[in-house]
Amino acid sequence: MKNIIIERALLFLASILLVYLSSLVLSTKDLNNSLLDQHYNKIEKTASDTLAIIAIDDDSIAYYESWPWPRSIYAEIIQKLNNYTIKKLAFDIDFSSKSSLVQDMSFAKSLKTADYPIALSAYISESNDQQSTENTPIIQLAKNATIVNANVSTTIAGTVYIYSPTAINSRISIASFLADRVDKLKQDFYIDYSYSLGSIPVYSVKDLLLNKIPLSALRNKNILIGATSIALGDMFNMPVNGRKSGVFIHALAYETAIRGKQFTKTTNIDQALIALIVILLLIVSFNRRNFLLLLISSISIFFTLYFFSIYLHHYHFLITELASSFISLITTTLFLFLYAFYIRTRSFYRQLNIKNYHKSISDQLIKSSSHGIIVTNRSGDILIINHTAKNIFPLESSHLNIKHFFERGLQLIAACSTSDQQKTSYHKIRHVNSKGITFDLEVFVDKSYYTFNKMQGIFKKNHELYNIIIIDETEKNQALEDFSRSKIELLDIKYNDPLTKIANRYSFDNYLKKSLEKEHVEQLSVVLISLDSLQDINFIYGGLIGDSIICQVAGQLASSVGDNGKVFTFSRETFAIVYSGLSEAQVLRNMQKIFFLFSNPLSVVNQQVLMSVSLGMAMAPKHAHTPSLLTSCAETALNHAHTSQAKNYAIYDQKLAVRLKQRAVLKKELRRAINNREFLLHYQPQHCLASGALVGLEGLLRWNDPEHGLRYPDEFIVAAEEFGFMGELGELVLSLGCNDGVQLPEHIKIALNVSPVQFLESDVAELCEIYLHQSGLAAHRLELEITESMLMEDIGRVCEILQLIKNLGVSIAMDDFGTGYSSLQYLTQLPFDKLKIDRSFSMKIGLSQQDDDIIISIIQLGKAANKTILAEGIETEHSVNFLKAHGCEMGQGYFFGKPQPLAYFLKN
């Protein structure tokens, strides 16, 4: 009995020590918070119905299309709430920065004349040096409202548990103001998250301002206004509701505050006492022979503590922090379990028979050995065979002798010497088993004697045993063979392209490096050859034809280069030739030979395929002294050859690099400008020649570059076409034109140019329908201008697209008529409404009779086809009178006005 008491006392002290060490490692605070989260989840309470939230949600922000809002909106909110007979109003919004004077005074007036108390929020922030500053509403607003603190404190994990009724500067909080508990709430309190957020009514600011909230919904309620949109930030973690905006925290704090009774928390002494009681109960109930009793005790204590803490939490508002108790429970249970297991294991091993123990170890080693083990007698009868040996030699129930499955093994046994007491023989054999699987085996045959008696120093032999150890070397030998084969293949892959079988980029870099490291560097030229047509060939004929062409090109280049050059596969679509000792003129002649080589079609699988190429060349030491710089110079020349309209080869010079760099910068700036919508439209007026009235505006694209100022189309349109940006730019022009047109008088049309790329590669009709709908612009007020060049692509397709546009009610004008392939077919077949005479004709009015006759003929053609005629480029009154006299209805040009921004026309 005494020993039991001493044992229990020692176990008690050891458990206390382990619990103490565990509490140092584990975070009791996080565990207590987790338990508190669960308590809030157990019972759901309904809010008091004395508070409502007016939310600045996504719908409200989208409705006003901007953030932050003008303060006139907040003034309107206050005026709207005057109709609802509310008790109090609190704004969880930062008004510390000034708006316009008119907006601020409007809001201040609404605050002053409101029928109820209003609170505006202040926010305290801390700098890195622990200095706190308070952002309060501007003075015009502050003097007409109560200033309250809107800060909430969070844990390290960002979760809000505790609410402060007053800030560090004694300013009351939002909840204290609304709950009218300024005198009663002196200390921080736990927010009761058992209250259901769903029971607190939430309405949208949009609905309030649109009079969609019934008067009864807000009557005699306290109102809290704040942001709930995720896009506005101000999000905090809640134990029950996940991440929510701060306005919901103030709402739950309000519900907790008006309840009267607040949560209290167990002290550290209480927690320690509960933990000691838990340890004591486990020690008292401990029985080393009954693990189940220990488990039942632990589970019973756990659930008792857990459910009792929930009861205290919800009915007595007592927060019982049980982290220490649960750590004590788990640590002590594990310790007692391990202690009992240790006692029982030690007892078990003491009771084992040593001989049986050794035998079990031996059997286990044989069974789990990675080597095959077979023990037989001299006749080959199997005494022992392990799992590995059975995998090598599949056995059947009738296989009781080694000769049935391993005849060579019987021969090895016979060959083993019988004269020595112990002899080990070694053999390497290849064996094919009954399943047809081949094994490379190392076989050790060891002969031993089973001796059971010793008389007068002489051993009496019963029978011989043969221990056969089999090591499977199949995988090892296969790996060595694979390694040897892979080594050769890797070397080939390292230096040669697997498709073309000629030297690859790695070999190219090494070759350049060695050539340029020579003491006397000879003239070295790098020519890069790009297969420009390869992508089209792959698309039309397939990848296999493309690969075949690459191989054919590689062979032709290799055979044509000669002794002064070496061909490399630079990339999938590019080859490189390195010439040594050739002058620039000689290299140019070789480049001409390469062009001649590709002037004839390539023949692949009964297909005649033309291959266009681009060449770029750089030389050392003229252009560069290092391999990387020389390669870069050749790539620069090749890139220029790709973009050059005049020729498809280039020799590196410094100007090329500068131009390509400028081109790359322009591409980057254009992409940024499109993404940031840095473009706007300037408009040139179109007037009725008869009355002089303004009847239309032609939109001309401008780039409002934040770095370079206003940029005109001649700086970027050509580049945009090359970069493939015209579709996006065209869509942007359509969007801007429709949105601008809505702001102009209804009799004014908006004329927008459509690029050939946008017209033929995008669904222009669908885009028109989308942006007309989004902007609200009437379809008859939009006019699209197309040029003659796009009509030559596919007149049937063009006619179909134009008809779809016409069906929407959008009018169509043919721009720059007379400058291209002006066909009478266009005047009769295509459904356009207006014909625009190019400025090159208008500028020549009065210069000669022939020029005047031409423009008169164009007008007569258009009138005959029943088209409206507009002349561009009008700069003199004489031109106006001439055009008007010959039946031209409309005109535009500097005589009427230069292109101006939209604001100019809105003002005038």
DSSP letters spanning 418-473: SSSS-EEEEEEEEEE-TTS-EEEEEEEEEEEEEEEEEETTEEEEEEEEEEEEEEE-
Which range is least confidently modeled, 450-464, 512-526, 757-771? 450-464
Is 599 strand, coil or helix?
coil
Q: What confidence tens digit (pLDDT) does each residue in 650-664 have?
A: 888 877 667 777 778
User: pLDDT band at residue 147, thresholds of 50, 70 and 90?
Assistant: very high
Q: What is the pLDDT of residue 736?
A: 95
Q: In this predicted model, what pLDDT tens digit does every residue of 285-319 receive, in sequence order? A: 887 777 788 788 888 888 888 888 888 878 878 88
Give me the pLDDT at residue 379, please.
66
Cα separation, 271 vs 46, whole angstroms:
31
Amino acid 593: pLDDT:
87
Q: What's the pLDDT tens digit per position in 635-646?
A: 888 888 887 766
**667: exposed, middle or buried (Cβ count in 10 Å: 0-12, 13-18, 19+):** middle
- Quote the distance between the C-alpha of residue 566 and its chain's center: 44
Share of the chain above pLDDT 90, in %: 28
Least-confidence region, from 81-90, 140-149, 271-280, 450-459: 450-459
Neighbours of 79 (CB within 10 A): 14
Name the strand (E) or helix (H) holding 42: helix 28-42
Q: Which helix H or strand E contains 152, and what residues bound it?
A: none
**Model confidence band, residue 411 (pLDDT cutoffs 50, 70, 90):** low
Q: What is the mean pLDDT of residues 603-608?
A: 77
Sign of CA dihedral 632, 638, 641, 643: negative
CB atoms inside a 10 Å sphere around CB 418: 10
d(CA 683, CA 392): 89
Q: Which residues pair with 868 in a beta bridge?
A: 834
- Tell which residue, 585, 575, 609, 611, has the closest CA to residue 596: 611
Q: Check residues 411 and 232 and name the one with the higher pLDDT.
A: 232
pLDDT digits (tens, 9 = 90+) for 774-788: 999 999 999 999 887
Res. 419 pLDDT band, cuts 50 70 90: very low
Q: Reply yes or no on whether the pLDDT at 418 is more than 60.
A: no
Set out the domains of the chain in order of their start, with CATH numbers: 2-40+266-351 (no CATH), 44-262 (no CATH), 370-478 (3.30.450.20), 496-652 (3.30.70.270), 676-907 (3.20.20.450)
For position 400, what pLDDT does the model report? Answer: 65
Specify the pLDDT at position 824: 63
575-579, 608-612, 617-621, 708-712: least confidently modelled range = 608-612
Residue 354 is predicted with a pLDDT of: 56
Q: How far apart are CA 147 and CA 139, in angstroms?
A: 11
- Cα-to-chain-centroid distance, residue 183: 52
Task: Please tell me the distance from the alpha carbon of residue 150 to that of residue 175, in angstroms, as a whole number.
Answer: 9
pLDDT at 455: 46
Section 529-542 average pLDDT:
85
Whether 725 contacts 757, CB under 8 Å: no
Average pLDDT, the chain: 83
pLDDT at 456 over 60: no
CB atoms within 10 A of CB 883: 24
Q: Which residue has the tokens 């890069």?
A: 528
pLDDT for 355 beyond 70: no
User: If you write DSSP's letter for every residue of 808-875 in order, what string do you get?
Assistant: TT-EEEEEEETSS---HHHHHHS---EEEEPHHHHTTTTT-HHHHHHHHHHHHHHHHTT-EEEE----
Lowest mean pLDDT among 3-12, 97-106, 828-837: 3-12
Which residue's entry shows tokens 């844990």?
A: 155
Q: Return the axis-axis angle of helices 877-885 and 849-864, rounded to nearest 10°.
A: 50
Of the segments 192-206, 383-397, 808-822, which one has the largest average pLDDT value? 192-206
Residue 285, amino acid: S
Provide φ and ψ at 165, rounded to 5°.
Answer: -70, -25
pLDDT value at 28 more than 80: no
Per DSSP bridges, beta strands 649-651 and 458-472 are unpaired
Cα distance between residue 818 and residue 302, in whole Å:
94
Confidence of residue 805 (pLDDT cuts 50, 70, 90): very high
Query: Under 8 Å CB-to-CB from 577, ≥6 apart: which residues?
Result: 526, 527, 529, 557, 561, 565, 566, 567, 568, 590
Q: How far apart are CA 769 and CA 338, in angstroms?
A: 77
d(CA 890, CA 691): 10
Query: 């063979």: which residue's tokens?
Result: 481
Q: Return contacts of 47-50, CB within 8 angstroms, 24+ apart.
A: 47/195, 47/196, 47/199, 47/200, 47/255, 48/255, 48/258, 49/199, 49/201, 49/221, 50/87, 50/220, 50/221, 50/222, 50/258
pLDDT tens-digit readout, 684-712: 999 999 999 999 999 999 999 999 899 99
Closest CA to 786 of 764, 755, 757, 742: 755
> Residue 318: what pLDDT?
82
> Checking DSSP bridges between strand 900-901 and strand 890-891, what pairing results, if any?
unpaired
Most confident of 51-65, 322-336, 736-750: 736-750
466 versus 337: the higher-pLDDT residue is 337
Whether residue 588 has pLDDT greater than 50: yes
Residue among 574, 576, 581, 591 nearest 509 (CA): 576
Inform me whether the pLDDT recorded for 396 exceeds 70: no
Across 150-164, 333-347, 545-559, 856-870, the highest mean pLDDT is recorded for 856-870
What is the spatial distance between Cα 760 and Cα 261, in angstroms, rounded to a whole number?
A: 74
**358 pLDDT above the threshold of 60:** no
How many CA atoms does the CB half-sphere of 122 hold within 13 Å?
Answer: 24
